[in-house]
Structure 1
Amino acid sequence: MGILCSFEALYYLCATFTIMRENIIQIALSQFHQLGIRSVSVDDICATLRISKKTFYQYFKKKEDLIEEIIQHVQQHFVARCMRQQKDKNSIDILIMNIREIKRAMEKESFLFWHDLKKYYPLLYSRYYDLQRDVVRTTFEQNIRCGMEEGYYRKDIDVEMLSYFHTVQMRHTFEAMIEDQQHFPLKRVVDFFIDLMVHLIVNEKGLKYLEENYYDKIKK
């Protein structure tokens, strides 16, 4: 009986710890998006959650640790969402879907969050983009090879070079887009990028599929 009670108590403590940690992440993420990372202090987060700074530091040793955790949270959520949407889809659908998912994620993100991350936490910003680059490159290369096997993509594509181009181009395009949304609305940029990328890689069969399905898939 004593062992069972100890196990239940340990389970409860672990669950409570996980819930509080997640609450801190969610509240901080919301405030960072609204006000920017620089303007939100640990005191602000604690006040919203009605916890002491001592409690906060039991979960995160410093603000930078919290920011890093948030970045990982955003990345994991993005990857998981993409994976769920890929079931029973062909390579063209998946490519368009992934780019649209980036568009959706960008619409949710705040300029202040990424601006402050890049300006005040350059190492974390660089680490995030390194991780994002690796995920995008791996996913894109898998998509290209799959599209070749399905007969939608050209067989003569230099997969490694195209993957590099896609990754670099995407990063610079969306970074510039964040800073210049007034001149180039997000939807216009993403639609153009999809049109450019898919026409670069598809063959005759893929082009036919695009003509039958393209606009319905990117304009929703």
Structure 2
Amino acid sequence: MKEKIIQKASELFLNLGFKSVTMDDIANEMGISKKTIYTHFNNKTELVLEAVLAVFHEITCGIDHIQALQKNPIEELYEIKKFALQQLKNEKSSPQYQLQKYYPEIYATLKQRQFEKMADCTLSNLKRGVAMGLYRENLDIEFVSRIYFIGVSGIKDDQLFPMSQFPKAKLMEDYLEYHLRGIVTANGLKILNQFINQQTN
């Protein structure tokens, strides 16, 4: 039952926002009593933490799977972007903004874990890209990896990038192209152009 509560809470939080969804809403959606939820979680904050970590775990497992396929580094980044978009497709609120505003400690925990995971993923991608001659060999990969993380985090800010002006899919597409154009070699650019053409056709 605990796992089912986390799953339903995660859906509702992503769709409606962490602030908007009450324990009553979750209980009503599941057809259970609020008391049942409180036998597994002491309070809403505890449930929010569990839900956030569950979603994070699901996304990291998906990224691990993509990395294990050992595709060329440019294709790998496009696959990760596609997977991330699928994960976010049901977001109708601004979950990151609400999490930051109402649950700052949980947001800080999540951001640290995201940084650690993404640093591993991006460093591995950059090293392989340089070794394969697709990324420039003079890259400072620690610097590029951190700048990429800042950018990926930054474009989630709905105040800077309102959805009405910057649809999520287009925004992620444009940012990935921006990142890759700065680091590819001539050979890498040929592969990148193939992916850009695929997106526009």
Shorter chain as normaliser: what TM range? 0.7 to 0.9
> After the TM superposition, which residues 65-144 of structure 1 pair with which residues of structure 2 at under 5 Å, given as runs?
65-86=46-67, 87-144=69-126
Checking the alignment, whether the CA contact within 8 Å between 1:177 and 1:186 is kept in structure 2 is no
Task: After TM superposition, give the deviation of residue 113 of structure 1 in Å.
Answer: 3.2
My pick for the range that moved more, 60-69 or 185-194, is 185-194
- Alignment equivalent of 1:200, drawn from 162, 179, 182: 182
Question: Which structure's CA Rg is the greater one?
Answer: 1
- Alignment equivalent of 1:163, drawn from 125, 134, 145: 145
Task: After TM superposition, give the deviation of residue 219 of structure 1 in Å.
Answer: 5.0
Secondary structure of 1:157's partner?
A: coil
| Structure 2 counterpart of 1:144, one-letter code | L
- Alignment equivalent of 1:46, drawn from 12, 15, 27: 27
From the two aligned structures, give the one with the greater helix fraction: 1
Task: After TM superposition, give the deviation of residue 186 of structure 1 in Å.
Answer: 1.9
Query: Which residue in 2 is equivalent to 1:9?
Result: none
- Find the aligned partners of 2:44 and 2:87 in 1 and give their Cα distance: 24
Checking the alignment, whether the CA contact within 8 Å between 1:36 and 1:113 is kept in structure 2 is yes
- Find the aligned partners of 2:19 and 2:156 in 1 and give their Cα distance: 22
Between the two proteins, the alignment pairs up a number of residues equal to: 200
| Structure 1 counterpart of 2:55, one-letter code | V
Deviations along 1:2-26, whole A, 9 cap, x unmatched? xxxxxxxxxxxxxxxxxx1111012
My pick for the range that moved more, 122-131 or 64-73, is 122-131
Instruction: Classify 1:119/1:177 alpha carbon distance in 2 versus 1 (closer, same or farther; 3 Å).
Output: closer
Query: Which residue in 2 is equivalent to 1:10?
Result: none
My pick for the range that moved more, 144-153 or 83-92, is 83-92
- Find the aligned partners of 2:81 and 2:37 in 1 and give their Cα distance: 37
- Find the aligned partners of 1:105 and 1:76 in 2 and give their Cα distance: 12
- Find the aligned partners of 1:176 and 1:46 in 2 and give their Cα distance: 30
Secondary structure of 1:175's partner?
A: coil
Checking the alignment, whether the CA contact within 8 Å between 1:141 and 1:159 is kept in structure 2 is yes
- Find the aligned partners of 2:195 and 2:15 in 1 and give their Cα distance: 37
Secondary structure of 1:111's partner?
A: coil
Task: After TM superposition, give the deviation of residue 177 of structure 1 in Å.
Answer: 7.0
Secondary structure of 1:78's partner?
A: helix
Task: After TM superposition, give the deviation of residue 172 of structure 1 in Å.
Answer: 1.1
Query: Which residue in 2 is equivalent to 1:185?
Result: 167
Task: After TM superposition, give the deviation of residue 80 of structure 1 in Å.
Answer: 1.3
- The runs of 4+ residues in structure 1 deviating greater than 4 Å are none
Instruction: Classify 1:114/1:212 alpha carbon distance in 2 versus 1 (closer, same or farther; 3 Å).
Output: closer
